[in-house]
Structure 1
Amino acid sequence: MRKTGFLIPILVIAIAAMLSAIFIVDEREKVLVLRFGQIKQTVTDPGIGFKVPLLDEVVRFEDRILSLETELIEVTPADDRRLEIDAFVLYRIDNIVQYRQAIGVGGERQARSDLSGILESQIRAVLGSQGVTSNTILSPERSALMDQIRERSDARAAALGLKVVDVRLRQTNLPEQNFDATLQRMIAERDREATDERARGQEAAQRVTALADRTYEEILSEARRDARIIEGEADAERNRIFANAYGRNQEFFEFYRSLTAYEEALKGQNSTMVMSPDSEFFNYLRSDQGRRSEEGERP
C-alpha cells in the first residue's frame, strides 16, 4: 500500500513532465524553442514538437500575412506641391530567427514601428524623386510607384526578417493650409499652357496661310502664263485664217470686214455718227459702189 502511494506521485510527475515536453505547432504560426534565451530549435511546419521541460521556452510567431497602416505622410513631389498621403502595407514574417534577433525583446510592437519607419522613408524617397510630380502620383503611373516603394521597402525589411508583400497608397490630399496657394498655382500653370498652345496654334495657322497664299500665287501665275500662251496661239491662228481668207478673195474679205465694222459701229437704237459723206467707211453703203461690186463679181 505504501509502495502504491509512493508510485502515484512519481507517475503524476512523469506524466506532467511528458506533457510539458510536448508542444503543438499550428499551421498559422512558426515556433522558436529557446533555452536560456538562446535559440535551440526552429519549427516552421505544423505538427507536434518536443522540448526539454522547465529549461526550454516556446516562442510563437504569426505565419499569416499581417497589415500595417501608416499615419499621414507629407511628401513634396518634383513640382513642389506638398501632398498628404496615407498608406498600408501587407507583410509577413519570413525568417523567424532573424526577426527574433532584430526586434529583441521589443516584440511585434517594435517590428511594426521599425517597418513603419522603413515604409515612410521609402514613400518620401520615391514620391519625392526627380521626375515624379503630383500629376504622376494621381495618374495610372501610381501603380508603378507603389511597386517601386514595395521593392525598396522589402529590400530594407529583409534585415528585420520580414517580407513586404504589397504596398498601397490610399488617400492623397493637399494640406489644408496649402490648398488655396496650390490651386492658384495650378490655375496659373494651366493659363500658361493655354497661352503656349494658342501661340503654337497661331504660328501653325500663319504657316498654313503663307503656304496657301504662295500656292495661290503660283497657280495664278501659271494660269496667267498659260492664258497668255493660249491667247497668243489663238491670235496667231486668227491671223492665219484672216490671211488665208484675204489671199483667196481680197474684195470679199474687205466687204466682210466692212460689214462687221458697220455692225459694231451702229449698235443700239440711238447710235449717231458724224462723218464726211465721201469717207471710205461708207464705200459699201453707196449705191454706185454696190453696183461696181456686183459688176466685179459677174463672170
Structure 2
Amino acid sequence: MAKAAFILPGVFLLGALALSSVFVVDEREKVLVLQFGQVRQEINTPGLGFKIPLIQEVVRYEDRILGLPTQPLEVTPLDDRRLVVDAFARWRIVNLVDFREAVGPGGTDAAQSRLDRIINAAIREVLGSVPSGAVLSEDRTGLMNKIRDIARREAASLGVDVIDVRLTRTDLPDQNLAATFARMRAEREREAADEIARGNEAASRVRATADRTVVEVTSEARKQAEVIRGEADAQRNAIYAEAFGRDPEFFAFTRSLTAYDRALTAGNSSIVMSPDSTFFTYLRSEQPPVPALAAPQD
C-alpha cells in the first residue's frame, strides 16, 4: 500500500510532464521554442511539436497578413501647403528568428510600433518631394509604391515584409481649410470674371460687325432706291415731255382739271380769287375748248 501511494503521484507527474512537452501548431501561426530566452527551434508548419518541460517555452506568432493603420500625420509637400495624411499598411512576419531578435518579448505590438515610425518616415520622405497637387490627385499609385518600397527596405531588419501601403486620407488641416476655400473661391471668381470679359468682348465684336453690316446693307439699299427713283423720275419726265410735245393744249387742260380736283375737294382751306383769274380759264368759257388728242406721229 505504501509503495502504491508513491507510484500513483509519480505516474501523474510523469503524465503531466509528458502532456506539457507536447504542443499543437495551428496553420495560422508560426512557433519558436525558446530555452532560457534563446531560440532552439523554429516551426513553420502546422502539426504537433515537442519541447522540454519546465526548461523550454513556446512563443506563438501570427503567420497571417496583418494590418497597421497609422495615426494622422502632418506633412509639408514642395509647395509648402501642409496636409494631414494617414495610411494603412499590410505586413507579414517572414523571418521568426530576426523578428524575435529585433522586437524581443514585445512581439507584434512592439513590431507595430516600430513599423508605424518607419512608415511615417517614408510618408514624409516621399510626399515631401512632390507638390500637394500630386498628393491630392486621384492617381497616387506611384507615390504609394515608393512609400511601400522604402518601408519594406527599412523593415527588412525586423524580419517582416511590408506587402502594401495605401494612403487612406489626404486632407488639409482644419485651420487651413477656410483660407484654402477662400483662395479657391477667389480663383474661381477670377476665372469667371475672365470668361465674362472674354464673352463681353466677343459679344461686342459680333455686335459691331452686325451694326456695320446693317449700315452697309441700308446704305446699299438706299443707294439702289435712289438710283431706281431717279431712273423712274427721268422716265416719268420723258413721258411728260413727250406728251406735252405732242399736244400742249391737252396737257394744260388735264393739268388744270387735276388742280381743280385738288383745290375744290371738301375740307380744304377756303380760297378767295377773282372769277376772271386764269385759274378758272376752263370753267369760265361757255363751251370750254376740249382739244383733241394729237394723232401719233410716225
Compute the TM-score of the two structures, normalised by the length of structure 1: 0.64
**Which of residues 225, 235, 238 is equivalent to 1:240?**
235
Q: Deviations over 1:169-224 (max 9, x none)?
A: 4595636xxx3x76356535633542453244124303311321222212331232
Amino acid at match of 1:269: N
Structure 1 residue aligned with 2:204: 209
Relative to 1, partners in 2 of residues 1:229 and 1:167: Cα closer, same or farther, differing over 3 Å?
same
Structure 2 residue aligned with 1:291: 288
Structure 1 distance, partners of 2:254, 2:19, is: 146
SS in 2 for 1:93: strand
Structure 2 residue aligned with 1:66: 66
Structure 2 distance, partners of 1:148, 1:242, is: 93
Q: Deviations over 1:152-184 (max 9, x none)?
A: 343234324233456454595636xxx3x7635
Equivalence map 1:1-299=2 (5 Å):
19=19, 22-32=22-32, 37=38, 41-44=42-45, 47-51=46-50, 53=52, 58-77=58-77, 80-85=80-85, 87=86, 89-97=88-96, 100=99, 103-105=102-104, 107-133=107-133, 137=136, 141=137, 144-145=139-140, 150-158=144-152, 159=156, 160=158, 161-165=160-164, 167=166, 169=168, 172=171, 174=173, 179=175, 183-184=178-179, 186-187=181-182, 190-191=185-186, 193-240=188-235, 243-244=238-239, 247=242, 250-251=246-247, 269-270=268-269, 282=279, 287=284, 291-292=288-289, 294-297=290-293
Whether the aligned pair in 1 keeps the contact of 2:33 and 2:51 (CA below 8 Å) is: no
Structure 2 distance, partners of 1:284, 1:102, is: 146
Structure 2 distance, partners of 1:265, 1:77, is: 100
Amino acid at match of 2:44: V
Structure 2 distance, partners of 1:245, 1:98, is: 130
Range 181-190 or range 108-117, more displaced: 181-190
Whether the aligned pair in 1 keeps the contact of 2:83 and 2:170 (CA below 8 Å) is: no
RMSD: 4.9
Relative to 1, partners in 2 of residues 1:233 and 1:61: Cα closer, same or farther, differing over 3 Å?
same
Q: Deviations over 1:221-247 (max 9, x none)?
A: 123203321442344245335534654
Amino acid at match of 1:68: L
Relative to 1, partners in 2 of residues 1:41 and 1:230: Cα closer, same or farther, differing over 3 Å?
same
Relative to 1, partners in 2 of residues 1:77 and 1:155: Cα closer, same or farther, differing over 3 Å?
closer
Computing the radius of gyration over CA atoms, which structure comes out larger, 1 or 2?
A: 2
Structure 1 distance, partners of 2:214, 2:40, is: 95
* Matched length: 280
Structure 1 distance, partners of 2:258, 2:101, is: 122
Q: Percent identity?
A: 25
Structure 1 distance, partners of 2:59, 2:261, is: 130
SS in 2 for 1:295: coil
Q: Deviations over 1:21-62 (max 9, x none)?
A: 643122332234568846754414xx3143564797644211
- The Cα shift of 1:272 comes to 6.5
Structure 2 distance, partners of 1:218, 1:194, is: 36
Gaps of 5+ in 1: none
Range 197-206 or range 253-262, more displaced: 253-262
Structure 2 distance, partners of 1:263, 1:98, is: 134
Amino acid at match of 1:74: E
Whether the aligned pair in 2 keeps the contact of 1:89 and 1:164 (CA below 8 Å) is: no
Compute the TM-score of the two structures, normalised by the length of structure 2: 0.65
